[in-house]
Every structure is written in structure tokens, then in C-alpha cells.
Amino acid sequence: MIKVAVTGALGRMGTLVIQELSKFDDLQLVAGLDAVGAGKTLQPSGVIVSDASVLQKVLASTKPDVLIDFTVASAAVENVCSAAEMGVNLVVGTTGFSQEQLSKMKGAIEGNVAAVISPNFGVGVNVFWKLLAEAAKALKDYDIEVIEAHHNQKKDAPSGTAMAAVDILKKAQGEVEIIHGREGIRLRGKEIGVHAVRAGDIVGDHTVLFAGPGERLEIKHQAHSRTAFASGAVRAARYVAKKSPGIYSMADVLESR
Ligand SMILES: NC(=O)c1ccc[n+]([C@@H]2O[C@H](COP(=O)([O-])OP(=O)(O)OC[C@H]3O[C@@H](n4cnc5c(N)ncnc54)[C@H](O)[C@@H]3O)[C@@H](O)[C@H]2O)c1
């Protein structure tokens, strides 16, 4: 049995992750924590939501093998440090980390616990990233634009998935400037344009456009439902539960099939 705790248990993603966990006999939700709503009962497990401020106490008493975090960047860093200190492996789905926050998290994880960190747990998105690398290598002189769209409650912009795409494109293209949106009078240079749309209840769209003389190629991923992310996160939890310390990607999880 793999014992799992969830931070952000009452959020959009936490709720779906908890539902997904309940489908498997080898996974057991032992704790759910949130910054609001302590005392609520999580269905179908019957676990009572604990306040996020008592995370270490809850981890000590419930002894999970894995903590799955879908919160906000500032909270996730603290949650990751607490779990790593207590030897609890991690699945980190939260996005919007600064470089400093990422370094702090990585420092806490390395040598202590195993963690899967991914800004997107969708299987299709991981194929999308692979396709981008190939296209960017083949289309070195093409103009590249990254356009993402999400619901109007999303706090961080651009999305973690879009920034992961930018990293992949930069690796293939070499020295290139990243331009977030455009305004005013200026010619396009050696740059990748990144555009974030926030509207309605869009779950998550990502398009990368490669435009050259007389043609353009668009590689696009659209998430229709968050269940794709929740099932990927649960799959990552099963993967990471028995892993030796280190930081793993969703690509590692998918290759382990
Ligand atoms: N990796 C992926 O596949 C993926 C997919 C979707 C969303 N996300 C990311 O996951 C994060 C959460 O997204 P969401 O849509 O569920 O947001 P949400 O706002 O619906 O849920 C976040 C929850 O975290 C809680 N929270 C805040 N601080 C906390 C703390 N210290 N401890 C415990 N809980 C705390 C909030 O009260 C809220 O219930 C965001 O960063 C989002 O970008 C990642």
C-alpha cells in the first residue's frame, strides 16, 4: 500500500487528485491539507482536512510515502521543504516558481527524497514538448511564438507549461531573446514571443507557431479537462514512492511504463 498526503486538498486539482486516488486499491489517502476549510471531510475517503499550518505534525502522525502538492508557489516551497526534511517523497504540480524558489526546493530535495516536478502531468503535453524539440531543431531560422490560454482564476503567467516549452525551444535555437507580449513600434528580432490569454473557464491551451517564408507550422495541445493532469499526478506518485532520492520528470514516469 502506498500512503499519500495531498496539499491543496480542496483546490481544483487537489479535489480531482483525491478522486483519482480512490480508484486504486494500492493507493491510500492518509491526509489532506489546505490553507482554508480545515475540518471538512474529503470524499470518498472520509479523511478530515487539516490546516496547512500543521503540515509537519500531520506528516509525522500519518507517515505518508508521498506528498502531492497543488497549491501556490510560495506555499509549495514551504511544503516541499517540510516533507523533504521528514523523508516524504514528493509530486509537485504547482507552477509559477521563481528561479530562487526552484533552487530552494531542489536544495531541500536533493540527497534526501525522490520528487517528480512537472508543470504539466498530461501525457499529451509531454509528447507536445518532444515534438517542439524536433521542430525547433529543424526550423532554426523560423520565427517562433508561444501562445497559451487559461481560465480567469489562474494566478501565474505565463503558464509553467509555456515556460517549459520556451526552455526546450531555447535549447534548440541557441541565443534568443524572450519577449512577453508586444506593444509599440519595434521590429521583430531574434526572439521568441510569449503570450498569455486569461479568459473564462479554459482548462489549458498551448500553441507554438513556427513561421517561415511562405508557410507556418503550429503545434497545439488543448486540455479538455483537468482529469488528465490528476491521473498523471497519481501515476507519478506511484512511480516516485519507491524511487531513490533525486529529481525526476514526467518523461521519466512515462518511460517507466
Ligand atoms: N502540473 C500540472 O499538471 C498542473 C495542472 C493544473 C494546475 N497546475 C497548477 O497547480 C496549482 C494549483 O492549481 P488549482 O487550479 O488547483 O488552484 P486552486 O486555487 O483551485 O487550488 C489551490 C489550493 O491550494 C490551497 N493552498 C494555498 N496555500 C496552501 C498551503 N500553504 N498549504 C496547503 N494548501 C494551500 C488553496 O486554499 C487552494 O484550495 C497552480 O499552480 C496551477 O498552475 C498544475
pLDDT of residue 174: 87
How many angstroms does the Cα of residue 104 sit away from the middle of ligand 1?
19
Atom 33 (ligand 1) nearest CA: 34
At 230 the pLDDT is 97
Nearest atom within ligand 1 for CA of residue 55: 32
**pLDDT at site 120:** 95
| pLDDT confidence of residue 101 | 98
> What is the pLDDT tens value at each position of the chain, 257 positions in all?
999 999 999 999 999 999 999 999 999 999 999 999 999 999 999 999 999 999 999 999 999 999 999 999 999 999 999 999 999 999 999 999 999 999 999 999 999 999 999 999 999 999 999 999 999 999 999 999 999 999 999 999 999 999 999 999 999 988 899 999 999 999 999 999 999 999 999 999 999 999 999 999 999 999 999 999 999 999 999 999 999 999 999 999 999 86
- What's residue 256's pLDDT? 86
pLDDT at 116: 98
Whether residue 12 contacts residue 5, with contact meaning beta carbons closer than 8 Å, is answered with: no
User: What are the cell numbers at 252?
Assistant: 521519466
Distance 70 CA to ligand 1 centre (A): 4
Give the catalytic positions in this structure.
150, 154
Closest CA to 162 of 209, 123, 230, 101: 209
Give residue ranges with CB within 6 A of ligand 1. Answer: 7-8, 10-14, 33-36, 52, 70-72, 75, 79, 93-96, 118-121, 156, 226, 229
Ligand 1 pocket test, pick from 70, 82, 152, 249 with the greatest ligand atom count within 8 Å of Cβ, gives 70
Which pLDDT does position 154 carry in this prediction? Answer: 96
Distance CA 197, CA 111 (A): 39
Cα(195)–Cα(218) distance, integer angstroms: 15
Please list, in sequence order, all residues whose beta carbon lies within 8 angstroms of the beta carbon of residue 80, skipping any fewer than 6 positions away.
Answer: 69, 90, 92, 105, 108, 109, 115
Q: Which of 56, 59, 72 to mutate to test the pocket of ligand 1 (most atoms within 8 A of CB)?
A: 72
Give the pLDDT of residue 80.
Answer: 98
